[in-house]
Amino acid sequence: MDNSTGNEKHIVEENSKDQQLAQFRVNNYGTKMTTNQSVKVSEDEQSLKAGIRGPTLLEDFHFREKITHFDHERIPERVVHARGYAAHGEFELYESMKEFTKAGFLQQAGSKTPVFTRFSNVVGSRGSVDTARDVRGFAVKFYTEEGNYDLVGNNIPVFFIQDAIKFPDLIHAIQPEPHNEMPQAASAHDTFWDFVANNQESAHMVMWQMSDRAIPKNFRMMEGFGVHTFRFVNAEGKAHFVKFHWKPALGIHSLVWDEAQKIAGKDSDYQRRDLWESIEHGNFAEFELGVQMIEEKDEFMFDFDILDATKIWPEEVVPVKIFGKMTLNRNVDNVFAETEQVAFHPGNVVSGIDFTNDPLLQGRLFSYLDTQLIRLGGPNFTEIPINRAVCPFHNNQRNGFSRQRIDVGQVSYHKNSLANNTPSTSTAAEGGFVHYAEKVEGRIIQARSDSFKDHFSQARLFWNSMTLPEKQHITEAFIFEVGKVQSKSVRQQVVDMFVHVDKAMATTIADAVGVDRPTGEQSTVTASSPALSQANTIRVPQTLKVGVLIGNGFNGAEVKATVKTFRDNGITVDIVGERLGWIQGSDGLRVMVNESFVTTDSVLFDSIYVVGGTAVNQAKFDSDIVSFINQAFMHYKPIGIATTGESFFKASNATAGPGIVFAEGNPSFDQIFVKAIAQQRFWNREIY
Ligand code: HDE
């Protein structure tokens, strides 16, 4: 049987950013080794010694350079979002947005802009795990012809705090506790929940964080949000408030918490591997980009403050206008050079996109450049290839560590006559960035607007919008997280806080974590927003992964037909057996086993197809298959049972029901199974 994935590497058209990067790429294959000074090296195994058993000599410059360079390989990791993974791609504009913004890359329908997108986990360090319960960063750098535009967002549309001055407190509370540096990449500990209970503006975000949104299946199947309110400004100077949304082509899908924890051990690179492999196989990640827009005159028309980053604009009230699509189609050549050295900054805007007075955004406008100065070692990081704009830059900034360019001439100041007063500034008509002329009035004050003080209405809106299984997951996440908190007082405070979202939920949590039932009252909001639930998302089989559990003696014709149907539907297949290598069906068909029960696990598949067969250690083989079925069943996954696989199913804890598809006497097995795979989860199972 053809065991290829069916996906050959796709050739992607070179864009202006690729062309620029090309001049920095170096292929060392087949070359002679030299020092960094380009002197040919004759010996790379033995250092220079005084005598065959003598001490090493300082004059061995190759040894010194090699060790010194190695000693300096590390740079500081990001203080947040340290663990990330990125890919190149392009953004294509569906329709001109000229009416709303003068941004050059949003003018011409069909125009394409190179992008570089980095997804990240917020809390864990660079070497932590992918599948932690956490917010995911979603940062996109658009290399436009008018300079770089960065949309530095998250996969959750709101944030924990309203004012940037609280960010260090939030992060100190959520990151590992300072006295013992535990737990890594987890919010399930005392300081985080103590912060939550004592900073109740976090209520709405915490509901999202306890929901399935915080354990996305992979980066390709999550939404992205700019979070803040930005401004679009058109050529006439007319402005709209906007919120950015990325919508994934494959829908929004999540892991199950038990599965997420197990994957953390089985494959800590689960999400980055998914992105890498998908792109290598030509299954490019696609996201549509849209905006919600509010006219300036309507700023005060809503029952929330549009400058408050703990609030959404319900999509049913302010619809998302989709205007383009991002396709991530090329993996990086070198993770350090590109993914680690890329520097995003929400302050990197182009004419036509501007800021608002959102106090969280205002603080970010300071933080990103500041952090990059230390992380990337000085002000010249914009010259690192991945950070370079595709259009030239000219100004009077000079010098600093590792300056690359050689600015010629005697003049490095403005105004001047010696260089004819160049570089010269540009008028708005010439494309010069002119800050939006917002009228600002008021006394200097350190306070929060009253319009920012409702913390529970939208937390309740979110809860109301969830289906029953989603509500159960949120409640279970609270029980897990708050249950890990040692301080009974903090556990009590959390329950007393979330009673304002839902009394029944808070009472269930209270009972489970050993504190008094809360006495407060829940918010009276009854509205819901269907767009917030994942239940109605897109469900397609493409790029999902099925494990075929198989031994010798299988029914060749049956398996071949089913695997072909998988491939025809874009489903990825792993053949899982007792050991790697060839196995044979009863009709002589040979199949290559590419994963064994030792190298892979049920949690790494979206579905399993149970074929069975004979093996060298039959008892072990049988029990491995049964354990795969038990895991898949308890994670609500679709399971297909071949005619030869029924005995394994009978020996498992699984019971027949939705998402369990039998081949026996079922001529439509392949089609029904593929439909079940697309469905992904069957929540109405009794799991113990
Ligand atoms: Fe960030 N954030 N952030 N953040 N953020 C950083 O910048 C900060 C916030 C986000 O893949 C840092 O270069 C402050 C919201 C992403 O490289 C730092 C505040 C949102 C990334 C920083 C916030 C984000 C960062 C750390 C409160 C969603 C990773 C390293 C006002 C809209 C980008 C770095 C990448 C990274 C500061 C809140 C998204 C320290 C002060 C809200 C996706 O500058």
Domain harbouring 605, CATH code: 3.40.50.880
* Same-domain check for residues 288 and 358: yes
Q: Which of 97, 94, 128, 131 is nearest to 111 (CA)?
A: 94
**Triad 246, 251, 252: Cα angle to 5°:** 80
Q: How far is the CA of 303 from the centre of ligand 1 (A)?
A: 28
Average pLDDT over residues 496-520: 98
pLDDT of residue 90: 98
pLDDT of residue 686: 77
Q: How far is the CA of 677 from the centre of ligand 1 (A)?
A: 36
Average pLDDT, the chain: 97
* Same-domain check for residues 216 and 328: yes
- Cα 18 to Cα 24: distance, rounded to the nearest angstrom: 10
* Same-domain check for residues 560 and 506: no
**Cβ of 167 less than 6 Å from ligand 1:** yes
78 is in an annotated binding site: yes
240 is catalytic: no
pLDDT of residue 12: 75
374: Cβ–Cβ under 8 A, 6 or more apart, which residues? 76
Q: How far is the CA of 80 from the centre of ligand 1 (A)?
A: 7
Average pLDDT over residues 658-676: 97
Q: How far is the CA of 675 from the centre of ligand 1 (A)?
A: 39
The CATH number linked to 519 is: 1.20.1370.20
- Does 364 reside within a domain? yes
- Does 567 reside within a domain? yes
Q: How far is the CA of 81 from the centre of ligand 1 (A)?
A: 7
Q: How far is the CA of 119 from the centre of ligand 1 (A)?
A: 12
* Burial class (CB within 10 angstroms; exposed 0-12, middle 13-18, buried 19+) of 688: exposed
pLDDT of residue 385: 98
Alpha carbon nearest to ligand 1 atom 14, residue: 364
Please confirm whether the linkage preceding 545 is cis (ω < 30° from 0): no
Counting the structural domains of the chain, the total is 3
Pocket test for ligand 1, best of 78, 338, 358, 375 (most atoms within 8 A of CB): 78
* Same-domain check for residues 120 and 213: yes
Percent of the chain with pLDDT over 90: 98
Average pLDDT over residues 319-328: 98
Q: How far is the CA of 164 from the centre of ligand 1 (A)?
A: 11
- Cα 111 to Cα 91: distance, rounded to the nearest angstrom: 8
Q: How far is the CA of 224 from the centre of ligand 1 (A)?
A: 14
**Cβ of 79 less than 6 Å from ligand 1:** yes
Beta strand residue intervals within 145-234, DSSP E: 147-154, 224-225, 230-233
- Does 393 reside within a domain? no
- Given a cut of 70, whether residue 4 has pLDDT beyond it is no
* Same-domain check for residues 364 and 288: yes
- Given a cut of 60, whether residue 9 has pLDDT beyond it is no
Domain of 664 in residue numbering reads as: 545-679
Percent of the chain with pLDDT over 70: 98
- Cα 78 to Cα 125: distance, rounded to the nearest angstrom: 8
**Cβ of 104 less than 6 Å from ligand 1:** no
Where does a domain end: 371, 387, 403?
387
- Does 119 reside within a domain? yes
Instruction: Return the ligand 1 atom nearest residue 367 CA.
Output: 44
213 is in an annotated binding site: no
Residue of 15, 62, 81, 387 marked active site: 81
Alpha helices, DSSP H only, in 390-530?
457-464, 468-483, 488-498, 503-512
388 is in an annotated binding site: no
Quote the longest CA-to-CA distance of the chain: 90
- Does 270 reside within a domain? yes
Instruction: Return the ligand 1 atom nearest residue 342 CA.
Output: 17
**Cβ of 363 less than 6 Å from ligand 1:** yes
pLDDT of residue 1: 66
- Does 95 reside within a domain? yes
Alpha carbon nearest to ligand 1 atom 32, residue: 153
- Does 38 reside within a domain? no
* Same-domain check for residues 249 and 376: yes
DSSP string of 116-161, one letter each residue: EEEEEESSS-TTS-TTSSS-EEEEEEEEETTEEEEEEEESSSS-S-
Pocket test for ligand 1, best of 344, 366, 374, 376 (most atoms within 8 A of CB): 344
Where does a domain end: 532, 554, 578?
532
- Given a cut of 80, whether residue 5 has pLDDT beyond it is no
pLDDT of residue 13: 78
**Cβ of 360 less than 6 Å from ligand 1:** yes
Where does a domain end: 364, 387, 410?
387
**Cβ of 314 less than 6 Å from ligand 1:** no
- Cα 140 to Cα 122: distance, rounded to the nearest angstrom: 16
* Same-domain check for residues 642 and 513: no
232 is in an annotated binding site: no
pLDDT of residue 2: 54
- Does 424 reside within a domain? no
269: Cβ–Cβ under 8 A, 6 or more apart, which residues? 130
- Given a cut of 90, whether residue 424 has pLDDT beyond it is yes
Alpha carbon nearest to ligand 1 atom 43, residue: 137
**What is the ipTM, given to two decimal places?**
0.98
Residue of 15, 121, 154, 218 marked active site: 154
Confidence of residue 687 (pLDDT cuts 50, 70, 90): confident
* Same-domain check for residues 606 and 665: yes
Average pLDDT over residues 330-343: 98
* Same-domain check for residues 568 and 485: no
The CATH number linked to 352 is: 2.40.180.10
480 is in an annotated binding site: no
Beta strand residue intervals within 210-311, DSSP E: 224-225, 230-233, 239-248, 285-295
For 114, the enclosing helix (H) or strand (E) is strand 112-121
81 is catalytic: yes
pLDDT of residue 10: 59
368 is in an annotated binding site: yes
- Given a cut of 50, whether residue 6 has pLDDT beyond it is no
Centre a 10 Å sphere on the Cβ of residue 343 and count the other Cβ atoms it contains.
22
* Same-domain check for residues 515 and 640: no
**Cβ of 164 less than 6 Å from ligand 1:** yes
- Cα 637 to Cα 654: distance, rounded to the nearest angstrom: 11
**Cβ of 364 less than 6 Å from ligand 1:** yes
